[in-house]
Amino acid sequence: MFQRMGEVERAGSGIKKMRDALKSAGLPPPRFRFTTFFTITFKRARIPDAARPEAQVEAQVRSSRLAMAILRQCTIPISSSALIRQLKHRRRSGGFQLALERLLKNGLIEYTIPGKPRSRRQRYIITVKGKKILGRSKPASGL
């Protein structure tokens, strides 16, 4: 229709440009569907936790009671077994492990021995970024 109206420089050139742009951005190709209408579907890129905007990361951490409790305990270097005891857990649960990994991945806590994450002397300590989130949170009762 736009070609007939004289609004198109070269028919079909936009689709190639679109595909090239998506490919160079590392995104999946669009899906085309032709019925009585012409439909193009674009898939969103999954954003890894580390690339999320700070506000999203903060909201996710602040909404997790366990993550906030871990942050509070990491103001001094602390081992994972000591964390489990301080939080009154009986064992290292999947939820605990997930919260710990997210805090590490988002740079809110860090290892005291970065080169040896599985060392028996390994401890966790809060980072400056973690302190900012902790400072903006309300004190929790009972922890």
Tell me the domain boundaries of the chain. 1-46, 54-135
How much is the pLDDT for 143? 43
How much is the pLDDT for 3? 73
**Mean pLDDT, the chain cut into blocks of 10 residues (143 residues total):** 74 80 83 86 72 72 86 94 92 88 92 92 94 75 45
How much is the pLDDT for 83? 95
- CATH class name, domain 54-135: mainly alpha
**What is the signed CA dihedral for 93, 98, 99, 100, rounded to 10 degrees?**
90
